[in-house]
Structure 1
Amino acid sequence: MVYSALGPRSDARPAPSQSAPQPAASDRKRIGTRDVPPAGGDEAVQLELVVTRLAVRFPSMSRGDIEIVVRTVEKRFADAKVRDFLSLLIEKAARREIGEGTASPRMELA
């Protein structure tokens, strides 16, 4: 029960039956451009999510080519000491390269 200047109110919290509607299962599985993995999580999982988001954003480019761009950009951050937001930095740089057309599908992974 919540008290206000007008007295007690019992409507401060919705009853369990009045909770917000849950998204459909298909919507929960879809990966959107705003889905960001938690910081400090597994880097490989985070980079897979980056590749997936970029594949959705750039459907004309093959997933394999996008993965090559992401892995190439990842190498630039190999010596980064703080790795919490690394996936965001990699995604931004890869998006810029793909969007500007500077990304080549023949980039080397070596």
Structure 2
Amino acid sequence: MPSRAEELHQLDLLIERLAHDHVGTPREHIAATVRAAYARFDASPIRGFVPLLVERATRRQLWSGAARAS
């Protein structure tokens, strides 16, 4: 099971990847979207897949926002 510090490190790396993939999206918006998705898993007792689930939720959110904007 990853430690809280490892989860946060993985989220930092996720923000970097998403900022690279979504150049037109403000980094602060990406970070806020990641933090909001991560907060939904605060009470989750099984932590192993939390970073992956956060990534999927964030990508879906960013994609839907981009689709609405176009």
Instruction: State the TM-score, normalized to the length of structure 1.
Output: 0.54
Structure with the larger helix share = 2
- Per the alignment, residue 78 of structure 1 pairs with 42
Structure with the larger strand share = 1
Which 5+ residue runs of structure 2 have no aligned equivalent?
none
Q: How many residues align?
A: 64
Which 5+ residue runs of structure 1 have no aligned equivalent?
1-38, 103-110
Task: Indicate the structure (1 or 2) with the bigger Cα radius of gyration.
Answer: 1
Distance in 2 (CA, whole Å) between partners of 1:54 and 1:79 is 25
RMSD over aligned CA atoms reads: 1.5
Indicate which of 31, 37, 49 corresponds to 2:13. 49
**Which amino acid is 2:7 matched to?**
E
Displacement of 1:93 in angstroms is: 0.2
Higher relative contact order (CA 8 A, sep 6+): 2
- Per the alignment, residue 40 of structure 1 pairs with 2
Distance in 2 (CA, whole Å) between partners of 1:44 and 1:73 is 13
Kindly report structure 1 stretches of 4+ aligned residues shifted beyond 3 Å.
Answer: none
Distance in 2 (CA, whole Å) between partners of 1:56 and 1:40 is 25
- Per the alignment, residue 55 of structure 2 pairs with 91
Distance in 2 (CA, whole Å) between partners of 1:62 and 1:87 is 21
**Which amino acid is 1:77 matched to?**
F
Displacement of 1:67 in angstroms is: 0.2
1:58 has 2:48 as partner: no
Displacement of 1:56 in angstroms is: 1.0
